[in-house]
């Protein structure tokens, strides 16, 4: 086992520390609460000469993503980080980064999208990028932030994938909460992430390439199909990356994390930090002999449908918690789970709960309440319910 050291740090620090160890060639970033400390910590590493990274203090997130696209196309390992309005401002270029198949890794500190303006956590920012062609990972705590950013580099740069990755952490709850995090030695991380093998770099003037051509009805569709295939390849290559990471860290990841699920009749599904609270409630209800469990989603895009089908078929009820709404339609995680379960042999009863918008607190009582509803079979498919809301 490799010797790690344990430090009490925030999620933002964990992200910055992972970035320091990855030591990308270029970081272009713009501050926005609650992502700001990531940029600040990283800028200090640069200023102190701890990393050889060239930092571009851009004038906006649109330019951050644009510069990262330029740097990655040039052949550099390039990163940025953002939140909410910053991610929305990047939106146009988020799609372009994916379509150019640039292996960019971006920590996203989830915050409610304006309006009205709000600085606290929900997942509306990242959900707006759901179909952008980025891989989306979600973290429960700072440890996962650190670990998943390191694994994201390998995933993004894998030759069968070559897609950008967002590593989501809940604003303030993770980004500003101090927790003990096991940190790997620099050389171990360096070895794990390896060197970027640039594909078609712009700076290779002997082999000039054209990035971003006009692509009309005669080829665009085929190129989109290639992106679809690359996303599917994530299912093939991620298992070996997580296995390798397990070898160096002793921490085992997957597409999803089942928690006390083996004999569970009532299962909750959620993204991000709320999973920690749900585990606490599951433990408590288990002590009372209730057959409850949790399915935590680590990877939201591509959506691990097969795992979900395998793990949720035959349950009595499944409660899906969403920290974002889709106005006029089902909440995104609920929708994805529901459609995944269309084909299973034995479909569970489903319940949709939207919670925590704009940073509204979620507590064990509310989670217990949602479990109670499931256990009393009071769930009505497609009836969206709200936790912690004044009606």
What is the rounded distance in angstroms from the CA atom of residue 85 to the CA atom of residue 220?
Answer: 29
Residue 368 structure tokens: 């217990």
Give the nearest distance from C-beta 98 to other proteins in angstroms. Answer: 13
Give the one residue of 76, 163, 336, 341 binding other proteins; rule: CB under 8 A.
76
Give the nearest distance from C-beta 244 to other proteins in angstroms. Answer: 25
What is the rounded distance in angstroms from the CA atom of residue 324 to the CA atom of residue 128?
Answer: 10
Interface with other proteins includes 79 (CB under 8 A)?
no
Binding residues for other proteins, rule CB under 8 A, total: 43
Give the one residue of 11, 34, 37, 70 binding other proteins; rule: CB under 8 A.
70
Beta bridge partners of 24: none
| Stretch in the footprint of other proteins (CB under 8 A) among 33-41, 91-99, 372-380, 382-390 | 91-99
Interface with other proteins includes 73 (CB under 8 A)?
yes
Nearest of 184, 193, 108 to residue 145 by alpha carbon:
108
Q: Within 217-236, which residues bind other proteins (CB under 8 A)?
A: 218-219
Cβ neighbours of residue 141 closer than 8 Å, sequence gap 6 or more: 11, 174, 179, 273, 276
Interface with other proteins includes 216 (CB under 8 A)?
yes
Give the one residue of 8, 47, 117, 209 binding other proteins; rule: CB under 8 A.
209
Interface with other proteins includes 314 (CB under 8 A)?
no
Give the one residue of 116, 205, 342, 376 binding other proteins; rule: CB under 8 A.
205
Question: For the chain, how big is the Rg over CA atoms in Å?
Answer: 21
User: 141: part of which helix (H) or strand (E)?
Assistant: none
Helices 11-22 + 142-157 axis angle, to 10: 30
What is the 3-class SS of 69-120, one letter each residue? HHHHHHCCCEECCECHHHHHHHHHHHHHHHHCCCCCEEEEEECCCCCCCCCC
Give the one residue of 12, 32, 38, 69 binding other proteins; rule: CB under 8 A.
69
Interface with other proteins includes 257 (CB under 8 A)?
no
Strands 135-138 and 179-183: unpaired
Question: In Å, how far are 19, 91, 119, 195, 303 from 163, measured between CA atoms?
Answer: 18, 16, 29, 16, 15
| Stretch in the footprint of other proteins (CB under 8 A) among 205-213, 275-283, 291-299, 341-349 | 205-213
Question: In Å, how far are 143, 180, 220 from 5, measured between CA atoms?
Answer: 12, 10, 48
One character per residue 22-61, x = contact with other proteins (rule: CB under 8 A): ---xx-x-----------------------xxx-xxxxx-
What is the rounded distance in angstroms from the CA atom of residue 28 to the CA atom of residue 354?
Answer: 34
Q: What is the DSSP letter of 53?
A: P
Residue 63 structure tokens: 């330019």
What is the rounded distance in angstroms from the CA atom of residue 27 to the CA atom of residue 107?
Answer: 12
Strands 135-138 and 299-301: antiparallel
Comparing CB distances to other proteins, the nearer of 219 and 280 is 219
Q: Within 269-298, which residues bind other proteins (CB under 8 A)?
A: none
Q: Within 111-140, which residues bind other proteins (CB under 8 A)?
A: none
User: 55: part of which helix (H) or strand (E)?
Assistant: strand 54-56
Give the nearest distance from C-beta 25 to other proteins in angstroms. Answer: 4
Question: In Å, how far are 145, 168, 271, 381 from 152, measured between CA atoms?
Answer: 10, 11, 17, 35
Give the one residue of 13, 33, 35, 66 binding other proteins; rule: CB under 8 A.
66
| Stretch in the footprint of other proteins (CB under 8 A) among 166-174, 179-187, 201-209, 232-240 | 201-209
Comparing CB distances to other proteins, the nearer of 14 and 102 is 102
Q: Within 140-169, which residues bind other proteins (CB under 8 A)?
A: none
Give the nearest distance from C-beta 90 to other proteins in angstroms. Answer: 10
Comparing CB distances to other proteins, the nearer of 58 and 248 is 58
Interface with other proteins includes 214 (CB under 8 A)?
yes
Comparing CB distances to other proteins, the nearer of 76 and 112 is 76
End-to-end Cα, the chain, rounded Å:
53
Interface with other proteins includes 71 (CB under 8 A)?
yes
| Stretch in the footprint of other proteins (CB under 8 A) among 68-76, 131-139, 148-156, 289-297 | 68-76
Comparing CB distances to other proteins, the nearer of 209 and 389 is 209
Instruction: List contacts with other proteins (CB under 8 A).
Output: 25-26, 28, 52-54, 56-60, 62-63, 66-76, 78, 92-93, 96, 202-205, 208-216, 218-219
């Amino acid at each position: 086992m490799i010797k790690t050291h344990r430090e009490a740090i925030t999620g933002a620090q964990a992200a910055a520390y992972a970035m320091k160890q990855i030591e990308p060639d270029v970081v272009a970033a713009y501050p926005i609460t609650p992502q700001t400390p990531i940029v600040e910590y990283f800028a200090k590493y640069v200023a102190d000469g701890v990393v050889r990274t060239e930092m571009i203090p851009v004038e906006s997130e649109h330019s951050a993503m644009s510069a990262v696209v330029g740097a990655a196309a040039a052949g550099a390992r390039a990163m940025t980080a953002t939140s909410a309005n910053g991610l929305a401002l990047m939106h146009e270029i988020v799609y372009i980064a994916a379509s150019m198949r640039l292996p960019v890794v971006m920590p996203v500190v989830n915050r409610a999208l304006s309006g009205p303006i709000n600085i606290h956590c929900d997942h509306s920012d990242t959900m707006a990028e759901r179909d952008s062609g980025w891989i989306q990972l979600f973290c429960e705590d700072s440890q996962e932030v650190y670990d998943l950013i390191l694994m994201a580099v390998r995933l993004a740069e894998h030759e069968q994938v070559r897609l950008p990755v967002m590593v989501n952490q809940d604003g303030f709850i993770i980004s500003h909460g101090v927790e003990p995090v096991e940190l790997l030695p620099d050389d171990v991380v360096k070895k794990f992430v390896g060197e970027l093998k640039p594909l078609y770099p712009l700076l290779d003037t002997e082999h000039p390439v054209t990035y971003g051509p006009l692509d009309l009805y005669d080829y665009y569709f085929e190129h989109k199909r290639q992106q679809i295939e690359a996303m599917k390849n994530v299912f093939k290559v991620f298992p070996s990356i997580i296995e390798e990471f397990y070898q160096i860290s002793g921490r085992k990841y997957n597409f999803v994390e089942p928690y006390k699920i083996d004999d569970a009749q009532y299962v909750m599904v959620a993204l991000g930090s709320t999973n920690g609270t749900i585990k606490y409630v599951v433990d408590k209800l288990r002590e009372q002999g209730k057959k409850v469990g949790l399915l935590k989603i680590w990877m939201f895009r591509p959506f691990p449908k097969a795992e979900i089908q395998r793990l949720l078929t035959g349950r009595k009820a499944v409660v899906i918690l969403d920290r974002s709404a889709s106005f006029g339609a089902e909440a995104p995680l609920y929708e994805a789970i529901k459609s995944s379960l269309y084909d299973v042999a034995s479909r569970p009863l489903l319940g949709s709960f939207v919670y925590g918008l704009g940073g509204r607190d979620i507590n064990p009582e509310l989670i217990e309440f949602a479990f109670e509803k499931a256990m009393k079979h009071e769930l009505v498919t497609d009836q969206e319910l709200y936790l912690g809301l004044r009606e």
